[in-house]
Amino acid sequence: MEKITEMTVDFSGPKSPFPHFWETVIGSEGADFPLREDLLSHYQEVKEKFGVQYVRFHGILHDNLGVYKEDNDGTPQFNFEKIGRLYDNLLDIGIRPFVEFSFMPEALASKDTHIFFWRGNTSPPKDYKKWEALIKAFVEYCVKRYGKKEVRKWYFEIWNEPNIGFWSGTKEDYWRLYDHAVKAIKDVDPYLRVGGPASAGGEWVMEILEHCKSENFATGGSSSPIDFVSYHGYPTDKGYIVGGKPFEYFGLDFWRELSKLNYEIVKSFDKSGEIEIHVTEWNMSVRLWDIEQCSTNGAAYCCQAINDVSGYVDTFSYWTVSDVFREMGFPDKEFHGGFGLITVHGLKKPKYWAFELLHRLKGPRIPVSIENPIKGVGAIATKPKDGLALLIWYFDPIYYNSLKDISLNMPPNFPPRLEDTSRNTSQEPVKCSIKCLNLPSGKVKITKAIIDSEHSNILHIAKNLGINMDSFPNEKELAKLKESNFLYEEKTQSEIDSKYEFEFLLTPGSVIFLQLEI
């Protein structure tokens, strides 16, 4: 039986704000990577194209940046020369750091516990006063180098996912880590913005607010400041406790439910509305080396997730901007299923084009009513100055059905690869009928952009060119790929009489954008 859905957009309908909260912050890998020219070019790309303002990455305190040592007497020695170089690189292209304080310098660690290929130390400090001194010296260096006015625009986030394998201490150890770090930062300047817990699976939001409200500040006996809460989520997460109860949502409904729940928790603690909510990691799955990360279905998921969290978060930081990434070792081929919007050699994936189309949703949002709704099909309409913009997608939920039996909680070390696990859909295309009502009559310019199996799809292009998918392309192949790596668009004109109607077949894992310039 043919699937049919009908959508109606009323051009004169009620308007609501639609800030581009998903563009403010974007994730990246190890803190030493902004010293790489290739990754800097990827940052510059998203800055210029989407207006990205902040980049967040792991390991700013890692030993490969030489931040912390101790002399023979155990006296701390600080060196922020590389920090200055990498922050200079970011600020020179107009991007600020969303500072994630991790991981523990080896000389300060109390345990020999590590995570990932590059061995981030997950240990609590052996001396919390020395930890506090390190954070204070770090922030003082930044203020001296860049000025208070600039650094007050940054964010300082304490650690990364301390509720799972990124932290080998207890929850109480984390509160102590947080308290000492926050004291150090606020001692430098009380107007600097601090927060956490950057927890996996949306956990510990209620807990950190309860902790900061209580009088158990580890360094003084008073409550601990918090300017923002942060958390992470992947719709393949399982077994997390959010708001005191197990969070059971998996797959397509995950972000709609999690963001709403944590929003309600924050608002119940913060009647003034001053505490911001930052999701500092999200993607369609926590898995690397899953070819679905390069697929058009990934593009549809980006649209779905952003729609689901709208109104519940202040920022929504996609993980990650680039496949220049080494958590489990460096990639060994171009199309390996990395997290990035952009491949190692700068090719734009379908997810990148989804961000491009989402960026075009200018102006206030107007409602889209949907009859005969179909799971995975959604739409956003906005009212830019020159007309109407409409984005429609069909995320194929079969992707999550195939993962339900896989344990996806992050282990302390390396999850196995899901190498080239392409999945054939059993979903049927949807006949989509669109009515745009109460438009100004007259001539309109119509732009239609398509992301699907044959359009705006670098995997399809590579296969058609006969590229060896098990390696990196050579120089000639890369040039051919870049030449064909663009967003597919059709431009036409039409005469309308206050309404515009059209229909098309929406295939699983596709995104359609329509812009009417009136």
Query: How high is the pLDDT of residue 298?
Result: 94
Query: How high is the pLDDT of residue 424?
Result: 54
**pLDDT tens figures, 328-366:** 778 889 998 999 999 999 999 999 999 999 999 999 999
Query: How high is the pLDDT of residue 420?
Result: 42
Does pLDDT of 423 surpass 90?
no
Query: How high is the pLDDT of residue 261?
Result: 97
**pLDDT tens figures, 118-127:** 889 999 999 9
**pLDDT tens figures, 227-257:** 999 999 999 888 899 999 999 898 889 999 9
Q: Which three-class secondary structure state does DSSP give residue 46?
A: helix
> In angstroms, rounded to a whole number, what is the distance separating the alpha carbons of residues 243 and 206?
6
Give the residue from 284, 320, 316 showing the smallest Cα distance to 399. 284
Query: How high is the pLDDT of residue 414?
Result: 41
pLDDT over 70, % of the chain: 93
Query: How high is the pLDDT of residue 422?
Result: 46
Question: 518: which DSSP letter?
Answer: -
> In angstroms, rounded to a whole number, what is the distance separating the alpha carbons of residues 5 and 503?
10
> In angstroms, rounded to a whole number, what is the distance separating the alpha carbons of residues 235 and 256?
10
The β-bridge partners of 233 are 282
**pLDDT tens figures, 471-494:** 999 999 999 999 999 999 999 999
Rounded to 5°, angle at Cα 226 from 116 and 178: 40
When pLDDT is averaged across residues 288-306 and rounded to a whole number, the result is 92
pLDDT over 90, % of the chain: 78
Please state the domain extents for the chain. 3-14+366-404+420-517, 25-362
Neighbours of 344 (CB within 10 A): 21
Token output for 214 = 């209580």
Residues annotated as part of the active site: 161, 281
Question: 427: which DSSP letter?
Answer: P
When pLDDT is averaged across residues 503-515 and rounded to a whole number, the result is 94
When pLDDT is averaged across residues 315-329 and rounded to a whole number, the result is 89
Q: Which three-class secondary structure state does DSSP give residue 260?
A: helix
Domain 3-14+366-404+420-517 in CATH 2.60.40.1500? The answer is yes
Q: Find the range with the poorest average confidence among 368-382, 414-428, 465-479.
A: 414-428
Residue with tokens 């670098």: 458
Question: 152: which DSSP letter?
Answer: T
Q: What is the 3-state secondary structure (H, E, C) of 493-507?
A: EEEECCCEEEEEEEC
Does pLDDT of 469 surpass 80?
yes
**pLDDT tens figures, 165-200:** 999 999 999 999 999 999 999 999 999 999 999 999
Does pLDDT of 418 surpass 50?
no
Token output for 41 = 């070019």
Residue 417: band (very low, low, confident or very high) from pLDDT cuts 50, 70, 90: very low
Token output for 116 = 């990932």
Give the residue from 106, 139, 138 showing the smallest Cα distance to 125. 106
> In angstroms, rounded to a whole number, what is the distance separating the alpha carbons of residues 104 and 203?
22
**pLDDT tens figures, 258-289:** 999 999 999 999 988 899 999 999 999 888 78
Distance of CA 329 to the CA centre of its chain: 21
Size of the chain in residues: 518
What CATH topology corresponds to 25-362? TIM Barrel (3.20.20)
Query: How high is the pLDDT of residue 218?
Result: 63
Token output for 60 = 């700013």
Q: Do domains 3-14+366-404+420-517 and 25-362 have the same CATH topology?
A: no
Query: How high is the pLDDT of residue 408?
Result: 43
Residue 219: band (very low, low, confident or very high) from pLDDT cuts 50, 70, 90: low
Residue 222: band (very low, low, confident or very high) from pLDDT cuts 50, 70, 90: low
Query: How high is the pLDDT of residue 32?
Result: 72
